[in-house]
Amino acid sequence: MRLSRSFVPTLKETPAEAQIASHRLMLRAGLVRQTAAGIYAWLPAGLRVLQNIAQIVREEQDASGAQEVLMPTIQSADLWRQSGRYDGYGEEMLRLKDRHKRDLLYGPTNEEMITEIFASGVKSYREFPQNLYHIQWKFRDEVRPRFGVMRGREFLMKDAYSFDLDYEGAVIAYRKMMLAYMRTFQRLGLKAIPMVADTGPIGGDLSHEFIVLAPTGESQVYFEGGFEAIDWMKADFDNQNPADLERFTTLMTSMYAATDEKHDTAKWAEVPESNRREGRGIEVGHIFYFGTKYSEPMKLSVIGPDGKPIIPHMGSYGIGVSRLAGAIIEASHDEAGIIWPDSVAPWKAGILNLKVGDAKCDAICEEVYKALGGNALYDDRNERAGGKFADADLMGHPWQVIVGPRGAANGMVELKRRATGERVEVSVADALAKILG
Ligand code: ATP
Ligand code: MG
């Protein structure tokens, strides 16, 4: 995109309403605009980020064997009356009425709906296991929407739902999803640590929150340094092999990790001091096994091989897709602005033409822009170099191709890596190879 013709409304001033870095930077870099309390419009640069995050989430869900669907945002209240959650859900639920005075709601989550849909289509125990997910907007009327997209009222979530014939099957589904989450968060440039979470009346130990460290996180967390050392893209765990999933689980449970709600000071004391890490954390995902809590009231059952009915065991698996945009910035920024991981950046590179109108600068910029296509944001505005540097740093492109008259006369450009600040003078071909390589 050419910046001169793009709607990327950056701000020089720090917006007064924003209390944390990611919120300030998302507004300043022109990613989002608030349209009502806790409700945001995603502008061109922000939408690219949101779509990149969603795509990585999608690829890892697919790789785990889950199937994508898309359920509506509006749900019938009757569905929720069937599970018994309609009255109990409280004020977080946005309740609506249609012209026939029927009760509707804007979905805060989809357990009831997916259970009913699955029940209406599944015919045999042979069709198990299954896992269905969608990436869809949710609405929760949070008491205190804050921190920009991190605690919004309308937000984008990936929620998956697993169906198994028994507890043992559900455990495998749970482990597969945990492994998929480790890979997902690493691909998003994050270190996210699974921490034991409350299971409420369900009991058991199959509930984990995935936490990213950031000083502005809402909870205090404690974990072992070993989690940070694992490279999940290289780790040899085959998600189709139950023995591998067992080995994976042993590894995960061999290390201590807990939020303050679940913190066990006696166990913590056993962790060697040099291994202890603590800080504030942001919840970016939550996985939870809940057995037959919904299958029972929603009448999901199949006839088993012995002719007896089986009530499937379920789990649900959420990722805060829009919250992640904020969480990634919390984890990766500096004084000057955002530092996007390559995988989620709206554009891989910004092209900075320091002298618009100079024949050589213009020609080199056009050449680079053409080669990078949709991967570049070309700053072709008639503005001072200082302003362009500041905006490029603010927007956080992983690479900056800086084209000034002195280098351009010799066919050279400067290539800056945003994360390290390193700047090198290279040929156009070398710059392109580095960016695309
Ligand atoms: P929280 O404790 O932060 O309110 P939750 O337990 O209500 O989260 P879940 O119902 O497990 O969240 O939803 C799955 C994921 O959706 C969360 O891990 C989080 O990343 C995201 N999420 C939840 N509420 C919001 C919100 N108000 N704004 C943005 N993302 C959210
Ligand atoms: Mg909540």
pLDDT in tens, 349-358: 999 999 999 9
Q: Cα separation of 284 and 214, whole Å?
A: 12
Tell me if 281 CB under 6 Å of ligand 1: no
Mapped onto helix, strand or coil, the DSSP state of residue 139 is strand
Mapped onto helix, strand or coil, the DSSP state of residue 315 is strand
The pLDDT score that the predictor gives to residue 11 is: 94
**Ligand positioned closest to the Cα atom of 281:** 1
242 burial class (0-12, 13-18, 19+ CB within 10 angstroms)? middle
State phi, psi for 139 to the nearest 5 degrees: -130, 125
Ranges in the chain, pLDDT < 70 = none
Angle at 332 between CA 331 and CA 337, to 5 degrees: 130
The pLDDT score that the predictor gives to residue 3 is: 97
Tell me if 141 CB under 6 Å of ligand 1: no
The pLDDT score that the predictor gives to residue 138 is: 98
Q: Are 73 and 136 in contact (CB under 8 A)?
A: yes
The pLDDT score that the predictor gives to residue 208 is: 95
Ligand 1 centroid to 93 CA: how many Å?
A: 14
Determine the atom of ligand 1 nearest the C-alpha atom of 152: 28
Domains of the chain, first to last: 3-338 (3.30.930.10), 349-436 (3.40.50.800)
Tell me if 155 CB under 6 Å of ligand 1: yes
Q: Cα separation of 201 and 205, whole Å?
A: 12
Cis peptide before 129 (omega within 30 of 0): yes
**Mutation test of ligand 1: which of 42, 109, 185, 323 has the most ligand atoms closer than 8 Å to its C-beta?**
323
Tokens representing 272?
A: 């060697």
Tell me if 286 CB under 6 Å of ligand 1: yes
pLDDT tens for 233-263 read: 999 999 999 999 999 999 999 999 999 999 9
Tokens representing 279?
A: 């800080």
Residue 47: C-alpha distances to residues 26, 42, 68, 332, 430 (Å): 12, 5, 20, 19, 30
**Mutation test of ligand 1: which of 149, 280, 283 has the most ligand atoms closer than 8 Å to its C-beta?**
283
Q: Cα separation of 25 and 215, whole Å?
A: 16
Q: Which residues contact 388 (CB under 8 A, 6 or more apart)?
A: 352, 353, 354, 379, 381
The pLDDT score that the predictor gives to residue 200 is: 76
Q: Which residues contact 219 (CB under 8 A, 6 or more apart)?
A: 211, 259, 260, 261, 280, 281, 283
The runs of H, that is alpha helices, within 100-166 are 111-121
Q: Are 340 and 419 in contact (CB under 8 A)?
A: no
Amino acid at 29: A
Ligand 1 centroid to 320 CA: how many Å?
A: 6
Closest CA to 332 of 340, 342, 323: 340
398 burial class (0-12, 13-18, 19+ CB within 10 angstroms)? buried
Kindly report the protein residue whose alpha carbon is nearest to atom 11 of ligand 1: 286
Tell me if 152 CB under 6 Å of ligand 1: yes
Mapped onto helix, strand or coil, the DSSP state of residue 404 is coil
The pLDDT score that the predictor gives to residue 14 is: 87
Residue 73: C-alpha distances to residues 123, 129, 260 (Å): 27, 26, 33
What's the chain's Rg over C-alpha atoms?
24
Ligand 1 centroid to 354 CA: how many Å?
A: 43
Per residue in 61-100, is it b (16+ CB within 10 Å) or e — as a string? beebbbeebebeeebbbebbebbebbeeeeeebbeeeeee
**Ligand positioned closest to the Cα atom of 317:** 1
The pLDDT score that the predictor gives to residue 198 is: 83
Helices and strands, number each (H, E), in the chain = 12, 23
Q: How many residues does the chain have?
A: 437
Q: Cα separation of 243 and 249, whole Å?
A: 10
Residue 1: C-alpha distances to residues 251, 347, 417 (Å): 45, 9, 20
Q: Which residues contact 40 (CB under 8 A, 6 or more apart)?
A: 32, 33, 34, 148, 149, 152, 154, 322
Q: Report which DSSP code applies to 61.
A: H
